[in-house]
Amino acid sequence: MKRIEEIYWLRFYGCLAVFLFHLVGRIEDNYLPHLTLDLARIPLVLGTPIFIFISIFLFSARYGNAVPRDFLANRFKYIMVPYLVYGLIYSLAEYLRLLARGEDPSFGYHMTEYLVFAGWHGYFLIIAMQFYVMFWAYNRFDLRRWLPSGRWLVVGALISMGYWGFFRWQAIEPPGYLHWIAPVGWIYLFFLALVLVDAYPDLDRQRWFRRFSHPAWLVATVAVIVAFTLRGELAYSSKETWVVPLFLFAALWAMGWLAGRPATPLVKKVNEFSFGIYLAHPLFFSMVDFVTWQVEVPLWLYVPALAVVGMSGSILLNRLVNRTHWSGLMFGKRLRVA
């Protein structure tokens, strides 16, 4: 398959967006909330949707309707093994932290919250696995006849917006991240990927693409979101109603703007370690936080410490574990980037 340079750029952005979103959260938790942090979160909420979108786009572009027989087995191996390994690490670390604070959490309930209800940032892996199953079924049973991607992109966007809006409106909080991992809230990403693959690489020849990829749509959407932010009326995560139109217009604009732009060596290098960065960076953030619990650190030093330790630690760990196949499988495979 010909290299799709746009995906390198999108994965680069998505990796940094997730990294910086969690970094901003640490600043708010350990120092103070601020309007500037809320504004910074607006572009960063696109990180998780980008990863989901990329996964379907690439496999659809690579396989089309001819999905390999071992597709699901391979995806399960490379997705769910790291989910279990890192889920155990994060759950045990949090359990020990709670014990150190004098709390007495139920070990069984705590582990269930993390591993069964996906109550940690790796919930994305559960979503991805469900979408791989959907992709397999969509092609295996020729569901395109009943679920045409173009029409269902619109339907899916409305469903996803309604789904997130309902949970926000009713203030429902299921255990863990159960409502986050349900594919209903992300279904628009599935059909967006299929629509763009069907038209790729001649996107600019599509009238609908030229119309909706115009930056005016994105600028208008961002302007409305910023206005509500200034009024203090929004919550900030990738699981919000306003993220759906923001991602749609941002993705359409980016696919047009990035077309024909070769990825730089830095972009490819971040791509190479992106899976490991996504999975491991909170571990290294916690190391910095452990130091700040012992020694008072000013904000101007805390932020670069998080960035440097979080990024370099994740990359070094990923390089180390990928020296053997089994450890790379457990802690996140290093992507092969041409």
pLDDT per position as a tens digit, 182-240: 999 999 999 999 999 999 989 989 999 999 999 999 999 999 999 999 999 899 999 99
What is the per-residue pLDDT for 8?
96
Q: CA–CA distance from 125 to each of 36, 180, 187, 269 (Å)? A: 30, 11, 15, 22
Q: Is the pLDDT of residue 282 over 70?
A: yes
Q: Is the pLDDT of residue 305 over 80?
A: yes
Interatomic CA distance for residues 219 and 242, integer angstroms: 14
- What percent of the chain has a predicted confidence (pLDDT) above 90? 79
Cβ–Cβ < 8 Å for 322, 334 = yes
What is the per-residue pLDDT for 253?
97
CA 52 to chain centre: 6
Q: Is the pLDDT of residue 265 over 90?
A: yes
What is the per-residue pLDDT for 4?
87
Average confidence (pLDDT) over 138-147: 92
Per-residue confidence band for 174, with pLDDT thresholds at 50, 70 and 90: confident
What is the per-residue pLDDT for 124?
92
Beta strands in the chain (DSSP E): none
pTM to 2 decimal places: 0.94
Cβ–Cβ < 8 Å for 310, 23 = yes
Tell me which residue of 234, 152, 215 sits closest to 189, measured CA to CA: 152
Model confidence pLDDT, tens digit, residues 79-133: 999 999 999 999 998 898 888 888 888 888 888 989 999 989 999 999 999 999 9
The Cα angle at residue 278 between residues 275 and 283, in degrees rounded to 5: 125
What is the per-residue pLDDT for 34?
84
Model confidence pLDDT, tens digit, residues 24-83: 999 998 888 888 999 999 999 999 999 999 999 999 999 988 899 899 999 999 999 999
**The two structure tokens encoding residue 36:** 């500037």
HSE of 182, CA atoms in CB hemisphere, 13 A? 13
Computed over every residue of the chain, the mean pLDDT equals 93
Q: Is the pLDDT of residue 338 over 80?
A: no
Cβ–Cβ < 8 Å for 275, 332 = yes
Q: From the CB of residue 270, how many other CB atoms can be counted at a distance below 10 Å?
A: 23
**The two structure tokens encoding residue 217:** 């749509």
Contacts of 254 (CB under 8 A, 6+ apart): 6, 9, 10
Tell me which residue of 97, 241, 230, 263 sits closest to 160, measured CA to CA: 241
Interatomic CA distance for residues 261 and 4, integer angstroms: 10
Q: Is the pLDDT of residue 1 over 60?
A: no
Q: Is the pLDDT of residue 242 over 90?
A: yes
What is the per-residue pLDDT for 256?
94
What is the per-residue pLDDT for 9?
97
What is the per-residue pLDDT for 2?
66
Average confidence (pLDDT) over 262-272: 95
Contacts of 229 (CB under 8 A, 6+ apart): 35, 38, 39, 42
For the chain, helix, strand, coil in percent to 5 are: 75, 0, 25
Q: CA–CA distance from 78 to each of 36, 125, 220, 269, 325 (Å)? A: 38, 10, 39, 20, 11
Helix axes 215-230, 243-257, angle to 10 degrees: 140
